[in-house]
Amino acid sequence: MVYEVNKLFSWDTEYSADSSEFCPIEKYHNYLAVGTYQLADKQNEETSNSLSQGEIDIPKERLGRLYLKQLCTEEKKLILVQQIETEAILDMKWCQHRLRGDPVLAVANAAGLLKLFRLRPSNQEFLQLVFWCQHEIEDENTLALSLDWSSGKDSSDDPFITVSDSKGKINILQLKGDELTLVQRFHAHDFEAWITAFDYWNPNIVYTGGDDCKFRKYDVRCDPATALLTSRVHNAGVTSIHCSPFSEYLLASGSYDENINIWDTRKMSSPQTTVSTDGGVWRLKWEPHGENLLLAACMYNGFHVIENSEDASIVASFMEHNSIAYGSDWWHGKINNSHIVASASFYDHLLCLWEFAPG
């Protein structure tokens, strides 16, 4: 099928944009969280003295902003609802169902923190994000790189969250009451663990990918977790993994090697299909209504939609960004059979809203 692509809206995020996540919960679909990451010079007395002595090695501070925007479906544009100054953001995910009555956003940041925010009524016209709780992965020198909720298919009052970090470790946390509790932390990769994801059909299984080019599968019922699979089918760092919540054995992985591998989890000796994107793959998202479409943020080669079929291929592309394509997500609603996507790119500080529909 051939799709037509149309740009709807663009917005300057000021800081470098690397994450965009639409709320998946009905009634809240129009709320979009946008995360940013910015390196800035630390301007303090110590650096001032160093500068006066002619030194140029100025330490950097990782700054971030968390934006909450709302989609106006009639005009197909985004309105800024809230702006929160925070540590640099590496990844975000909404829980797929309400927790304690509220939509909840999890944020992994450069200070090694996992933070939870609740979307709640405010004195204003719109809902706003309210800080709930947090957990420090290890210390401020450890970056929390990616996260995933265990509740992609079945809801839970006490869901688990998997968080990967810059020391190659995977952290399994559980939300109990108003606290995040560390269940276990295990070494999965020799370098940065870029990505971690649950098998939504069996949350005892966690998939991981790292800068050591390994794609791994773990059983987290064991302590430490047991590696059930180590694949080196990717030729560079493994950066994205997403399990389909609609098809039990369907899994996608992406890498700096510019390839997307689509797997049948019953036969993990080799992928079912490989699609070349001509750009390192940073994020993968299956279409949220069960259509056989996969959204890919491909770093230096824009954003693409892959139709997962026997001859899997790219069916739609968005190339309006002028720098690294990082954040991407589907809007969970639909208008006249069209799909709406929010995409974020790094150095041009740009968030775009675009749609594609059958031509």
Cβ 358 vs Cβ 331: under 8 Å:
no
The one-letter amino acid at 213? C
Q: Which tens digit of pLDDT belongs to each residue from 262-274?
A: 999 999 999 999 9
Both tokens of 250, joined, read 């369907």
Residue 209's nearest CA partner among 192, 224, 185 is 192
> Is pLDDT above 80 for 247?
yes
Q: Which tens digit of pLDDT belongs to each residue from 279-294?
A: 999 999 999 999 999 9
Residues of the chain with pLDDT > 70, as a percent, come to 95
pTM for this prediction: 0.94
User: Is CATH 2.130.10.10 the right assignment for the domain spanning 3-358?
Assistant: yes
Q: Which tens digit of pLDDT belongs to each residue from 49-104?
A: 444 444 555 567 999 999 999 999 999 999 999 999 999 999 999 999 999 999 99
Domain locations along the chain: 3-358
Residue 84's nearest CA partner among 74, 69, 101, 70 is 69
Name the average pLDDT for the chain: 94
Q: Which tens digit of pLDDT belongs to each residue from 171-205?
A: 999 999 999 999 999 999 999 999 999 999 999 99
* 197-234 b/e (C-beta count within 10 Å ≥ 16 → b): bbbbbebebbbbbbbbbbbbbbebeeeebeeeeebebb
pLDDT for position 203: 97
pLDDT for position 2: 79
> Is pLDDT above 50 for 133?
yes
Average pLDDT rounded to a whole number, residues 301-321? 95
pLDDT for position 50: 41
Cβ 18 vs Cβ 62: under 8 Å:
no
Q: How far apart are CA 323 and CA 319, in angstroms?
A: 10
